[in-house]
Amino acid sequence: MADLRGKTALVTGGSRGIGRAIAQRLAADGARVAMHYARQDADALETVSAIEESGGRAFPLKAELGTDGDVDTLFARLAEGLAGERLDVLVNNAAILAGGTLEQTTPEDFDRIFAVNVRAPFFIVQRALSVLRDGGRVINVSSAATRIAMPELVYAMTKGAIDVMGRSLAMQLGPRGITVNTVAPGVTATDMNARMRDKPEMVGDITAVTALGRIGEPADIADIVDFLASDDARWVTGHVLDATGGLFLGPPGFRPD
């Protein structure tokens, strides 16, 4: 386990799915978690309660990303929660899968998904620099969609931007001892992939092309983020870590002679 006692982490999109698992894991290792969410008050309060019942510390921050004043709202509420303390870990996890294929996506869809998935994390990092400690951590959540051709083109484009941002920020923030890394999950059992629940054939198709032979779980990603947030990862920066269980590594069923 990582030792995050005495540290404070901000996790965006922390009330459900991968974000919730990240918030819970960081809290379990001692961090106080500022858990951002957009709309679902009940989910947010449930996540905070679960953390506190397990002996951790957390507080919710409500702000709808991708809207005017989103980052101002987020950081005003973060300042209240921090009460003068500094931030040690920033996890940019919040994202949406809006629109669809090239033919289906409207200009409104395009602008909305870039606003949430790219603009928001960019300006969150910008604002966080004034409260983030030297030696801190920035961890961005991307996707395997950046290396796999898939119909959800605009979503993949936003995650490609996140990969580029991470490498550039790692160079820029290195003099402050701040590491910047990116985690790229594959297909994971979250609400974003809820359509799989009633389609066992889809699950079978995905597991057949995954080296480790199963769908990912939110905890699989949270454990990796926890490592990157810890001192054990102090010499890792500018890295995109494939966290897919080996999704689409090669032809299904291929075995060398």
Bridge partner list, 179: 137
Give the type of residue at 178.
Answer: I
DSSP state of 149: -
| 155 assigned to active site | yes
Give dist(CA 162, CA 178) in Å, integer. 17
> What count of other Cβ atoms lies within 10 Å of the Cβ of residue 3?
12
Q: Write out the two tokens for 116.
A: 């949430």
142 and 94 Cβ atoms separated by less than 8 Å: no
Q: Write out the two tokens for 236.
A: 């890792």
Strands in 57-62's sheet, in edge-to-edge order, are: 57-62, 32-37, 8-11, 87-92, 132-141, 179-185, 240-243
162: closest CA among 178, 139, 130? Answer: 139
**Among 22, 35, 155, 186, which one carries the catalytic annotation?**
155
Q: Catalytic residue numbers?
A: 155
